[in-house]
Amino acid sequence: MNVHQDRTITLESSRNRPRAVLSLLFWAASLLAVPAAHATILCVATVNGGLDAHDYGLMAAFTAANAGPEGGTWDIRLRPNTYQLSSDLEFKPDSTHDNKALYFSGGWDSTCSNQTGDASNTIVRGSAPTQSGYSTKINFYGDNARYDIEKIRFENFVRFSVDDKVCDAFNICPDTDAIVIEQDEFSNGGWVYLRARNADKFLFRNNLVAKLSSVDPSSTNSAPVVFEIATDGGLQEIVFNTFADLTCKNGDVGGVSVFARESYLALNHNLVQTNGCLEGIYIVTSDVGFGPATFTGQALTPYYNVIPNISGYLGDLLGNGNVFSTNLKFVDALNGNFRLQDTSPAVNTGATLAGAIQSGFLFSPTDLDARARPTGTRFDIGAYEANVSNGTPLVITVNSANDNDDGICNATHCSLREAINFANAQGSEQRIVFNVPGACPLAILLNSELPDVTVPLTIDGYTQPGANENDLDFGSDANICIAITPQATGVSHALAVAADQPDTTRLVVRGMAFGSGFYTFGTDAIDLRGGSGHRVVGNVFGGYLPPSHNTAPIGSLPRAVLVRGTATNVRIGTSAPADRNYLGNLTQNGIVLNDATSTGHQIENNYIGVQPDGLTAQANQADGISASGGSNVTISGNTIAASDYGISLLGADTTAFTVTGNRIGLNALGISNASLSNNVGLVIAIGSKGHVIGATASDQLSAGETSNFIANNLGDGILLAADAGNSNSIRGNAIFSNGKGGTGIGIDLGNSQAQLPNDAGDSDTGANALQNYPVIQGSSPTDASHRSVYTVLNTSANQVVHFDFYQSPTCGGSKGADATNLVGSANVSSGVTGIVRISATIAEAGKSGYLTATATTGSGQTSELAPCVPEDLIFTDGMQAPGL
pLDDT digits (tens, 9 = 90+) for 250-283: 777 889 999 999 999 999 999 999 998 989 999 9
Determine the Cα–Cα distance for residues 401 and 605; give it in Å rounded to an integer.
Answer: 30
Q: Per the domain annotation, does 154 fall within a domain? A: yes
Residues 376 and 388: beta-carbon distance below 8 Å: yes
> For the chain, how are helix, strand and coil distributed in percent, rounded to 5?
10, 40, 55
Query: Is the entire prediction scored with pTM above 0.85?
Result: no
CA atoms of 493 and 485, how far apart (whole Å): 9
Asked if residue 262 belongs to a domain, the reply is yes
- According to the model, what pLDDT value does residue 717 have? 98
**What CA–CA distance (Å, rounded) separates 862 from 650?**
18
Assigned domain for 98 exists: yes
112: Cβ–Cβ under 8 A, 6 or more apart, which residues?
Answer: 41, 43, 54, 77, 79
H or E element in which residue 29 lies: helix 21-31
CA–CA gap between residue 690 and residue 473 (Å, rounded): 32
543 inside domain: no
Q: For 687-737, write each residue's pLDDT tens digit.
A: 999 999 999 999 999 999 999 999 999 999 999 999 999 999 999 999 999
DSSP string, 541-591: ESEE-TTTGGG-EEE-BS-SEEE-TT-BS-EE--SSGGG--EE-SBSS-SE
410: CB partners within 8 A, 6+ apart: none
The answer to the question of residue 506 being in a domain is no
pLDDT at 13: 25
Give the span between the Cα atoms of 99 and 173, in whole angstroms. 8
Residue 57 pLDDT: 92
Cα distance between residue 2 and residue 485, in whole Å: 46
Instruction: Quote the domain boundaries for residue 202.
Output: 3-359
Per-residue confidence (pLDDT) for residue 171, from 0 to 100: 57
Question: How many domains, the chain?
Answer: 1
Phi, psi of 417 (to 5 degrees): -60, -45
pLDDT at 48: 87
pLDDT number for residue 834: 95
User: pLDDT at position 763, please?
Assistant: 93
Structural domain includes residue 839: no
Which positions of the chain have pLDDT values less than 70?
1-37, 52-54, 166-175, 215-221, 291, 387-393, 548-550, 845-847, 873-881
Contact 593, 563 (CB under 8 A): yes
Residue 532: inside a domain: no
Say what percent of the chain tops pLDDT 70.
Answer: 91
Whether residue 845 contacts residue 860, with contact meaning beta carbons closer than 8 Å, is answered with: no
Q: Is residue 27 part of a domain?
A: yes
- Coil, strand or helix at 362: coil
In this prediction, residue 876 carries a pLDDT of 47
Cα distance between residue 812 and residue 818, in whole Å: 6
Task: Compute the distance between CA of residue 187 and CA of residue 724 in angstroms, rounded to an integer.
Answer: 39
